[in-house]
């Protein structure tokens, strides 16, 4: 249960600060309104840093079902622990997005744009094209998981000293590959908050775009598995 708790806390920090920076940029009447993509990518990079740092010593800071499944698939993580970790990641993602909604409640109320409100919680493509959107998420997560494996030397767990290089890796992915889909690269990061968007009483919200929701889940899983098997062969 200690692993569950810290995996949940780490993922909650990730989403609180990651979705939080999106809210600060896209919602009306915030101090950071319209401050742009660079602010969002830096904010997400720092969100990864904090999430990894606070949980690494206890759970190994997977914070991402794609990472957990990839490690298990190549024998680096116990399959029996996979459901526990994924449950913790989704619980943390939902808690983090709930806290963002509470913190920015008045700004959600002041924002008429339903797409902007949805963007706080989850991803949508700049140009909707299923094969290319899926390919983008596969490529982004492939880069994430392969990069993490090289940073850690293939260890199951991230250490606290890995937090900064992993944060820089996510920042690089956001800056370089985030344009087409918003770089979910994490099923819990997208689907957990998307569920909260559906549940929460957000004023004048749009639908939660369930037709797209499978892409930020399946794409990262495929990308993570491909990266893990390639690393194992090297």
For 179-214, write each residue's pLDDT tens digit.
999 999 999 999 999 999 999 999 999 999 999 999
Calpha distance 11→51 (Å, rounded):
6
pTM over 0.85: yes
By percentage, how much of the chain surpasses pLDDT 70? 100
* Mean pLDDT for the stretch of residues 149-178: 91
Q: How many CA atoms lie within 13 A of 185 on its CB side?
A: 31
DSSP annotation of 148 = H
For 127-159, write each residue's pLDDT tens digit: 999 999 999 999 999 999 999 999 998 776 777
Structure tokens at 222: 């495929």
Residue-averaged pLDDT of the chain: 97
Structure tokens at 28: 């009306």
Q: CB neighbours (10 Å) of residue 41? A: 20
Asked if 96 and 12 count as a contact pair (C-beta separation under 8 A), the reply is: yes
* Mean pLDDT for the stretch of residues 41-58: 97
* Mean pLDDT for the stretch of residues 212-222: 98
CA distances from 23 to 29, 115, 189, 224 (A): 11, 12, 15, 28
* Mean pLDDT for the stretch of residues 110-135: 98
**Residue 39 pLDDT grade (very low, low, confident, very high; cuts 50, 70, 90):** very high
Walk me through the domains of the chain, giving residue ranges and CATH numbers: 2-233 (1.20.1080.10)
Predicted local distance difference test score (pLDDT) of residue 166: 96
Predicted local distance difference test score (pLDDT) of residue 155: 74
* Mean pLDDT for the stretch of residues 156-179: 92
Predicted local distance difference test score (pLDDT) of residue 216: 98
Predicted local distance difference test score (pLDDT) of residue 161: 84
First and final C-alpha spacing in the chain: 34
Predicted local distance difference test score (pLDDT) of residue 72: 96
Q: CB neighbours (10 Å) of residue 97? A: 28
Predicted local distance difference test score (pLDDT) of residue 220: 98
For 65-97, write each residue's pLDDT tens digit: 999 999 999 999 999 999 999 999 999 999 999
Predicted local distance difference test score (pLDDT) of residue 158: 78
State which H helix or E strand residue 204 sits in. Answer: none
The residue whose two tokens read 């459901």 is 83
CA proximity to 91, closest of 149, 152, 161, 7 = 7
Asked if 114 and 25 count as a contact pair (C-beta separation under 8 A), the reply is: no
Secondary-structure percent of the chain, ordered helix, strand, coil, rounded to 5: 70, 0, 30
Structure tokens at 65: 């079902």
């Amino acid at each position: 249960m200690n692993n569950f708790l810290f995996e949940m806390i780490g993922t909650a920090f990730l989403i609180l600060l990651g979705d939080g920076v999106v809210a600060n940029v896209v919602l009306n009447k915030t101090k950071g309104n319209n401050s742009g993509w660079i602010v969002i990518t830096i904010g997400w990079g720092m969100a990864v840093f904090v999430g990894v740092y606070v949980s690494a010593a206890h759970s190994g800071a997977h914070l991402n079902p794609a990472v957990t499944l990839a490690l298990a698939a190549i024998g680096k993580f116990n399959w029996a622990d996979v459901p526990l970790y994924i449950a913790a990641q989704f619980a943390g993602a939902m808690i983090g997005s709930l806290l963002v909604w509470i913190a920015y409640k008045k700004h959600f109320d002041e924002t008429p744009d339903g797409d902007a409100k949805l963007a706080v919680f989850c991803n949508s493509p700049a140009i909707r094209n299923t094969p290319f959107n899926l390919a983008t998420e596969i490529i982004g997560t492939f880069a994430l998981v392969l990069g993490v494996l090289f940073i850690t030397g293939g260890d199951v767990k991230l250490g606290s000293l890995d937090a900064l290089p992993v944060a820089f890796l996510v920042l690089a992915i956001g800056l370089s590959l985030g344009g087409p889909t918003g770089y979910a690269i994490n099923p819990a990061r997208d689907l957990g908050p998307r569920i909260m968007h559906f549940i929460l009483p957000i004023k004048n919200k749009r639908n939660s775009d369930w037709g797209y929701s499978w892409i930020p889940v399946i794409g990262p899983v495929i990308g993570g598995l491909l990266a893990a098997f390639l690393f194992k062969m090297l």
